[in-house]
Amino acid sequence: MNKSRLVHPGFWFGKTPLEEALKLAKRGVGGFCLYGGTKEEVAAFTAAARAASPLDYLLISADYEDGLGRWLPDAPLLPSNMALGAAQDEKLAFEKGLLTARQARSLGVDWVFAPVVDLASNPLNPIVNTRSFSANSADIIRLARAFMKGLRQGGALNSLKHFPGHGDTTTDSHLGLPVIRRSLAQLQQSDLIPFQALLPEADSVMIGHLSLPLIDEQKPASLSKEIIGSLLREKMHFKGCVVTDALLMKAIGDEKQAALDALAAGADILLVPQDPAGLIDFLEQTQLPQSYLNRSEQAQDALCSQVQQVIPPTLQDAFNPNDFTLRTAQKAIVQTGPDFALQPGETVYYLEVGNTTNISAKPFLDTLEKHAIKALPFQNQEGPVIVLCFRRYQAFEGSIGLQKEEMLLLKRVLKTSPRCACILFASPWALGKPSETHTTLFTFSPAPEFQQTAAEILLGLRKSQGKLPVSF
């Protein structure tokens, strides 16, 4: 096997030069992991990369955890895993997997790096949050299994992540190395439970950049023989493909040494290095045991063979309009505190907080307007106030709480406004413990359908049906 095939570079639309990517494809890289783009751009890139590759089949992957809309501006944003955890509905989880797979395959993307099966066990975790189904491992197993069945039926590969469990950390591994001080016995009673149950159905496992000093004092999980070789391969009997998390993340130090360590530990694919061409040059000049190459070739051949058994749908069929996200919203949203009971003709004031990614609140405000509610930006007026909190996980940001100034303003509003509703469109923990005297809605997703449904609940047009999948 050509050593280039060990490497799967990243491709960022609007940032990575196409010529560079096509040169890498010609050198025989095993695949690409895509970030961003429009539907048209993704389809064009996957076709061009495959045309340039000497391989029988080029694997193309993406982190489409919440459907393609998390990365593509012209694709629908699907409900988060935590919204599915609140809805407690395996049929919806299956449907999410099926829709994601069909849409991805229609654009030439074979491999969805999902589901996240980390436990939602730490409110301060800046990078897992609503990507997790629940704090409860049994719920994670049920919903993730249904999602994986959907992916498989739609013809896409899956990947369990982030082994051996990224839930109980407070460090973003894009910025530094999270440390988990748990023994193997403790992990077996918590984070490893979903992995152990789902491994038989996993096409691949992604290893997290996590330090577990009670298991391996020297190396992070993604580079550890103890964790990949001994724990995952031998003790847990996983025979499939093992992928590193992105090598460009700041958690692992020198990329070339990290690549050698990962291969020695039992990884098959070196994902998204900072300098893919430089890493390939280095690997070509390095004497690698033939067993590494054989293992990787076998793992990648098996994935290619599996993908090619399903003919992708057309783009039009895959993106046919559907009511999946609306049905999920109507089942997932959780309310605590009293009903808000907005009346037609009322004026309310809205305050946006935590909106670092500039999500539009238009679907929410339009629904209020449609029902004769006048909504104005809050500027210390007297009257009912609705707080719209959009704070969600964001890679490379390092924390998930509100800014100090926003928190102080929020406390003042909650204290002085006799009638107040808070809507958390993403992180359920962003505002702390929900108030008993104010209305709080948890939607776990800022998708337009969730905004519309949240407005309808405040208007008294429907009741919330979800159950909180996390604790405070």
Q: Supply the pLDDT for residue 125.
A: 62
Task: Name the token pair of 20.
Answer: 């560079």
Domains and CATH numbers, the chain: 3-318 (3.20.20.300), 324-458 (3.40.50.1700)
For the chain, what percent of residues have pLDDT higher than 70? Answer: 95
Does residue 251 surpass a pLDDT of 90?
A: no
**What is the per-residue pLDDT across 21-76, written as a single tens digit (0 to 9) for each?**
999 999 999 999 999 999 999 999 999 999 999 999 999 999 999 999 999 999 99
Higher per-residue pLDDT: 403 or 233: 233
Q: Supply the pLDDT for residue 432.
A: 83
Pairing of strands 385-389, 59-62: unpaired
Q: Alpha-carbon Rg of the chain, whole angstroms? A: 23
Does residue 357 surpass a pLDDT of 70?
A: yes
Task: Name the token pair of 192.
Answer: 């490893």
Does residue 399 surpass a pLDDT of 80?
A: no
**What is the per-residue pLDDT across 98-125, written as a single tens digit (0 to 9) for each?**
999 999 999 999 999 999 999 988 767 6
Confidence bin at 341 (pLDDT 50/70/90): confident
Distances (CA, A) of 229 to 300, 332, 370: 18, 39, 58
Q: How far apart are CA 211 and CA 370, in angstroms?
A: 52
Confidence bin at 396 (pLDDT 50/70/90): very low
For residue 460, give every residue at least 6 positions away whose Cβ sits within 8 Å of its Cβ, in sequence order, or none. Answer: 339, 340, 341, 342
Q: How far apart are CA 326 and CA 342, in angstroms?
A: 21
Q: Which of 111-125, 295-309, 322-336 has the lowest mean pLDDT?
A: 111-125
Confidence bin at 400 (pLDDT 50/70/90): low
Mean pLDDT of all residues in 130-146: 96
**What is the per-residue pLDDT across 75-85, written as a single tens digit (0 to 9) for each?**
999 999 999 99
- The CB-side HSE value for 428 (13 A sphere, CA atoms) comes to 34
For residue 94, give every residue at least 6 positions away whose Cβ sits within 8 Å of its Cβ, in sequence order, or none. Answer: 146, 147, 149, 150, 153
User: Annotated active-site positions, please?
Assistant: 174, 245
Q: How far apart are CA 351 and CA 380, in angstroms?
A: 10
Confidence bin at 177 (pLDDT 50/70/90): confident
Mean pLDDT of all residues in 166-188: 76
Amino acid type, 287 = Q
